[in-house]
Structure 1
Amino acid sequence: MSEQFERGEAVAAGGWQAVAGDLAHCVRFYSRLPVPALPFEQDAHALPSFSRLVRVVPLAGLIIGLVPAVAMTVALLLDLGPWLAATLAVAALVLATGALHEDGLADTADSIGGTTRDKRLEIMRDSRIGSFGAAALFLALALRIGALAEILSRADATMAFAAILITASLSRTAGLMPLVFLPPARRDGLSHAVGQPARETFWLAVGIAGAVAVILGALAGLPPLGIALMIVLSGLSGLALTGFATRHLGGQTGDIVGAAQQVAEIAALIGLLTVLAP
């Protein structure tokens, strides 16, 4: 009996250690936050395998979302106003993530100028930013700052805090859709290296992200319709980028995943904004 109890404890420990290790790996991959190596991690800085890590992506987004949420709160406490608070929040997020998703959005936008699939993939690998990419970055930043500032003007700080966390979780989950539903567009890219997640694991992540949105939104007093629109519109945005990647490249790349996250973030914020009274 004691041996069975000890085996049960070992399995439980392995379970929570696996989740904690995956979460630490995921936060390191998606951000530049200084996540220390956990005592039970074999290789803290190895390239993560998204075939397993997908389940913790919504939670990693939640942790990363704390950075802009706290930056916004500090700005509000200093009475800097909604626009500056929103700008500082987005700036903090860009710094925390190393502009990972913004880079993907810019490269994806630049690839629109390519006339063939191979030319588009070549453009996406070019580190230089073209006119399409620059315009996409400007518009994405403006839309995120403007939407968040308007949310702050129509709702209290607690609601805006929750909105940032929910959006960070939902958008990173939606950004996985191209990775899950499409094959890699090239055999030597990052999206190929991290592996293709199982759809069952992805739907588990969707359920977790949805639960996070509903629970945090309810605790913060966000309107139920607004929460629903954040979930639905972020998901539709991920599907839209998946369809775009199918027609544009015949598959997905890491840049497409980044672009999907950016579009989903904007869609979620605007979705909430549409139900908040001016």
Structure 2
Amino acid sequence: MTLRRRLDELRLAMMMLTRLPMGRLADPAPTLTQARWAFPLVGLPMGLAAWGVFAGAAALGLPGLTCAFAALATLAALTGGLHHDGFADFADGGGGRDRAHRLEIMRDSRVGSYGVIALIFAVGLAASALSALPASAWAGFVLVSVASRTAMLILLDILPPARVDGLGRMAARARGPRSLTVWAPGLVMSLGAALVLGPAALPVLTAMALTTALVARQARRSLGGQTGDVLGAAQLAAETTGWVVLAATL
């Protein structure tokens, strides 16, 4: 596997998970399945961008809550609200009467009351937690951002696709034994950020892992597997949990 091919896979991951311009990929372009290893790496520029805005707002003397909302707005703008959309759709799907109905609700572009309420609580919790962080907490931003996208990758590999189409199907691993090497870049980057952050990293990662497990359990029980919305819900749920526990431990 050449370096250029790996870079193309990283660019594809950035194209799918952000709104950052990545140019055009030359043929033959990689598939989402091949590029899924790079999903966690997308968290590095996202985390640093959010921290940069947060620290910059703090340097201007703005209130902590304003700094927090500025950072969250940056993440939403850079991702196009992709994970928020999945989180809201997954919450709305909880009101379905059976698996088929839940998947139908989640595909509806309209947001229902469950989704709205879930987003209010998620954004509110994240903002209140971020407002308590020091401006120097760049390693915490990177850790939460990378680890939450590693959670997406893990769910993508351990849960079967719940649909015959969609992002969850296109990015799902090929049949055969699971390869931990696909998870390695995200796990290594998370470990690096954890070492810089220090003792606070352990409870943060533990809480994020538990949250991811709960999302996975609910997705398997209610949908039979993962979809793009489930992946987005896992990312945002793990990220929000990470912010809350980080604020409690720093």
What is the TM-score of this pair, normalised by structure 1?
0.82
Pairing of 1:54-73 with structure 2 (within 5 A)? 54-73=36-55
1:240 alignment partner AA: L
The answer to whether the aligner puts 1:29 opposite 2:12 as a matched pair is no
Segments of structure 1 that go 5 or more residues without pairing to the other structure are: 1-13
CA distance in 2, matches of 1:274, 1:205: 32
Q: 1:232 to 1:53 in 2, by over 3 A?
A: farther
Counterpart of 2:166, as a letter, is: G
**Structure-2 separation of matches of 1:87 and 1:199:** 42
Quote the Cα distance in structure 1 between the aligned partners of 2:164 and 2:113: 28
Matched, 1:16 2:13: no
Match of 1:117 in 2: 99
Corresponding pairs, count: 249
Distance 1:264 1:204, change over 3 A: farther
Task: Say whether 1:247 aligns with 2:234.
Answer: no
On the 8 A contact 1:27/1:64 being kept in 2, the answer is no
**For the Cα contact (< 8 Å) 1:174–1:237, is it kept in 2?**
no
1:43 CA displacement: 4.7
CA distance in 1, matches of 2:35, 2:205: 21
Q: Deviations over 1:147-194 (max 9, x none)?
A: 111123xxxx222x2211111100011022332112111112221123
1:2-151 to 2 correspondences below 5 Å: 15-37=2-24, 41-43=25-27, 49-151=31-133
Structure 1 window deviating more from structure 2 (236-245 vs 206-215): it is 206-215
* SS state at 2:244 partner: helix
Question: Which of 1 and 2 has greater Rg?
Answer: 1
Map Cα deviations across residues 66-121 of structure 1 (whole Å, 9 max, x no partner). 22122112211211122111110000100110000000010010111111111111
Q: What SS does structure 2 have at the residue aligned with 1:237?
A: helix
User: 1:223: which partner in 2?
Assistant: 198
For structure 2, the residue ranges without an aligned partner over 5 or more in a row are: none
Taking only aligned residues, the RMSD between alpha carbons, in angstroms, comes to 2.1
Q: What code does the residue aligned with 1:18 have?
A: R
Residue identity matched to 1:35: M
Task: Note if contact 2:151-2:234 (Cα within 8 Å) is conserved in structure 1.
Answer: yes
* Alignment of 1:258 onto 2:232: yes
Distance 1:211 1:271, change over 3 A: farther
Measure, in 2, the Cα distance between the counterparts of 1:174 and 1:268.
12
In structure 2, distance between residues paired with 1:141 and 1:209: 25
Query: Structure 1 CA distance, aligned partners of 2:71 and 2:121?
Result: 17
Distance 1:113 1:94, change over 3 A: same
Q: Which has the higher contact order (CA 8 A, sep 6+)?
A: 2
